[in-house]
Amino acid sequence: MPRHVLSGNAAARGSALGRARVRLPHVLNVEEARIAPEDVETELQRIHDAVDTVRAEMHILRERLHGALAHEVGEFLDLHALLLDDPELLQGIDALIRTGRYSADYALRLQRDRIAAVFDGIDDAYLRSRIDDIDQVIGRLHAALHRREADLQGVAGEILVTDNISPAELAQLQVQGVMGVVTANGSALSHSAILARSLHLPLVVGAAAALQKVNDGDVLVIDGSSGLVVLEPNAADLREHHARTSNARREQRQLNRLRREPSRTLDGVDIKLWANAESREDVAEAHALGSAGVGLYRTEYLFINNNEIPDEDTQFRAYRDVVLGMTGRTVTIRTLDVGADKADNTGLALRNEPNPALGLRGVRLSLSRPGLMHTQLRAIVRASGYGPVRILVPMISGAEEMFAVRDMLRAAMHEVARDGSEMAEKIPLGAMIEVPSAALSLPMFIGACDFLSIGTNDLVQYLLAADRNNDALGDLYTPLHPALLRLLRDVVRIANRRGRPVAVCGEIAGDAMFTPMLLALGLSELSLHPATLLEVRRAIRGCDLASLRAHAPALLRARDRAGIERWLAAHTPA
């Protein structure tokens, strides 16, 4: 086969060389098959055994996950587990086998098509897209029926070429030694792309021609930085790939030298780098990399990973261990943030919300269950006796919520003190600014805040009315939008005037490409995944803060994404 170059979108940096493994879009090509009456019970047992097999597979995968993977992938595994237990799916299959006398395979296909027809009629694009989750569960069941591994099994040295990929699949493939992934669809800002960057797994998305041009066994070179895919590379392509991998190894060695270096600009200003964490492993890595502390500790994994709501002592021990792990550096604990696409096994997150991204989630859910919030606050207050702790409240939309949480914290501290437990005299309380109304009404409630953290992932989504997981909106969902920059500038100004520390904790904080822009807008604190901390530290050490701030007016005058990109290109350290 002659050399061919395919173009896609860069989603996760890195260069990979390997044999192609092509997975076509999921279609159950199952012919209609009827069974004899005496075979009905056998077919029912087959499908029930398949369900048990898939449930066990997902449990094993979850047990292998830790750190960021436990959080990111766990959300999708939990959703798939809920679908697997959905009576509509299982009872429908049973009925087709009993009354229609269909084989288990064909009944599975018919039930999938029934559900797909319902999803096709849903107006909401987010809910309509969940058919992908149905297909992934159906695919696992079909594989289990024939006692073979599900399609997402990979082989070391392969590059997967597929239409799209879920975070759960990415995690499993990376463990199996797959070198990289090319998708015909997908967005560079999706959950899968974010996870791929954390895993350092090269990913190219939106390579529309890949499924038509690439065959199993073809040799591919993919460049996750440029978005190019080379089919049957020549000698020059191989040399370029080897040069990229050599440069990457050299760059990593250089980054490792920064582990003990300060996050200080060229003109001598220290920038505080916090770490996002949800596990002991993340905390240990953050400590080793010299982070200022934990800027965002996600507590929802305690709820997502359990079948019942964790009690106060369970939560206290988890928070205490994080505090001890940071050996005196501040730990910022975010209160429960389930809802939207974060499924849990405790029944807290509402099922079948018409618009989950705008539903009962974050602080809204906590305030609707005051006993739940009170228990969590008591656990955090008790943990504060072991080291400095801050509390961060997600999804604040206005003053009333912040004042309500402030009152609940005061009550929890009073109770813990009365019980005689050791605790801090003061526990700073902060608000996550991720809802536009919170940013616009900030002057009305900043007096109730000791610090702020800007969650840009949701802020961009809500500000631009663009779902980051909707492929069709990939060009619209971007932090490089003039409206976002102005909103960030305004939040920082208000915080500075009131003497309140403010950090960015969204995805852009961990992307070194955006570091000059954030510094220019007045930010001096960033909270990011430990995996990207050294890259951002290097970017900071190459920036002249005074110069960036002097050129901030030009950045804010940019009228579109192209103008912002030109500013970044002109002010990115060499």
- CA distance linking residue 64 with residue 152, whole number of Å: 16
Which residues partner with 452 through β-bridges? 431, 502
**What is the Cα–Cα distance from 410 to 416, expressed in whole angstroms?**
10
Residue 440 main-chain phi, psi, to 5 deg: -75, -30
Dihedral sign (CA 432, 437, 443, 448): negative
Q: Which two tokens stand for residue 327?
A: 């050996």
For CATH 3.50.30.10, the residue range(s) in the chain are 4-23+155-253
From the list 71, 505, 529, 543, the catalytic residue is 505
Q: State the residue for tokens 């800027």.
A: 295
Residue 301 in contact with residue 71, Cβ under 8 Å?
Answer: yes
Whether this prediction's pTM lies above 0.85 is answered by no
Nearest partner of 35 among 95, 97, 93, judged by Cα: 97
Answer for the pair 521, 571: CB distance below 8 angstroms, yes or no: no
Q: Which of 82, 74, 84, 83 is nearest to 168 (CA)?
A: 74
Task: State the Cα–Cα distance between residues 339 and 328, nearest whole angstrom.
Answer: 32
Report which of 544, 476, 501, 11 is spatially closest to residue 229, judged by C-alpha positions. Answer: 11
Q: Which of 71, 80, 142, 191 is catalytic?
A: 191
Helix H, strand E, coil C: the string for 170-217 is HHHHHHHCCCEEEECCCCCCCHHHHHHHHHCCCEEECCCCHHHHCCCC
pLDDT at 343: 47
- 80 noted as active-site residue: no
**φ, ψ (nearest 5 deg) of residue 546:** -60, -40
CB atoms within 10 A of CB 524: 19
Q: Name the strands in the sheet holding 9-12, side by side, starting at the edge strand that comes first in the sequence.
A: 4-7, 228-231, 219-223, 15-23, 158-162, 180-183, 203-205, 9-12
Please report, in tens digits, the pLDDT of each residue of the chain (574 residues total).
Answer: 689 999 998 988 899 999 998 876 655 556 788 888 898 899 899 988 888 888 877 766 666 555 444 555 555 666 666 677 777 778 888 889 988 899 888 888 888 888 777 766 665 554 555 566 677 677 778 777 876 444 445 567 899 998 888 776 777 777 778 899 999 887 776 777 877 887 789 999 989 889 888 988 899 999 999 999 999 999 999 999 999 999 988 888 888 888 889 999 999 999 999 999 888 888 888 998 999 999 999 998 788 766 688 999 999 999 999 999 999 999 999 999 876 454 455 556 655 566 666 777 889 999 999 999 999 999 999 999 999 999 999 999 999 999 999 999 999 999 999 999 999 999 999 999 999 999 999 999 999 999 999 999 899 989 998 876 666 666 678 899 999 999 999 999 999 999 999 999 988 999 999 999 999 999 999 999 898 999 999 999 999 999 999 999 999 999 999 999 999 999 988 7
Q: Which CATH superfamily is domain 4-23+155-253 in?
A: Phosphohistidine domain (3.50.30.10)
Q: Residue 27's pLDDT is what?
A: 53
Which fold, 269-571?
TIM Barrel (3.20.20)
- Phi, psi (degrees; rounded to nearest 5) at 327: 45, 55
Would you say 172 and 61 are in contact if contact means Cβ atoms under 8 Å apart? yes
For the chain, first and last CA: distance in Å?
Answer: 39
Gap between the Cα atoms of 547 and 526, Å rounded: 19
Q: What is the pLDDT of residue 496?
A: 96
Q: What is the largest CA-CA distance in the chain?
A: 82
The burial of 112, by beta-carbon neighbours within 10 Å (0-12 exposed, 13-18 middle, 19 or more buried), is given as: buried
The angle at the Cα of 280, spanning 460 to 344, to the nearest 5 degrees, equals: 55
Question: What pLDDT, on a 0 to 100 scale, did the predictor assign at position 150?
Answer: 45
Confirm or reject CATH 3.30.2350.10 for domain 37-145, answering yes or no: no
| Amino acid at residue number 437 | S
Q: Where in the chain is the domain with CATH 1.10.274.10?
A: 37-145
Per the CB < 8 A criterion, the answer to whether 224 and 13 are in contact is yes
Specify the pLDDT at position 493.
97
Residue 437 tokens, joined: 């109304």
Q: What is the per-residue pLDDT for 308?
A: 80
481 is known as an active-site residue: no
Question: CA 291 to CA 275: how far, in whole Å?
Answer: 6
User: What integer pLDDT is reported at residue 325 of this predicted model?
Assistant: 92
Q: With helix as H, strand as E and coil as C, how does 397-422 read?
A: CCHHHHHHHHHHHHHHHHHHHHHCCC
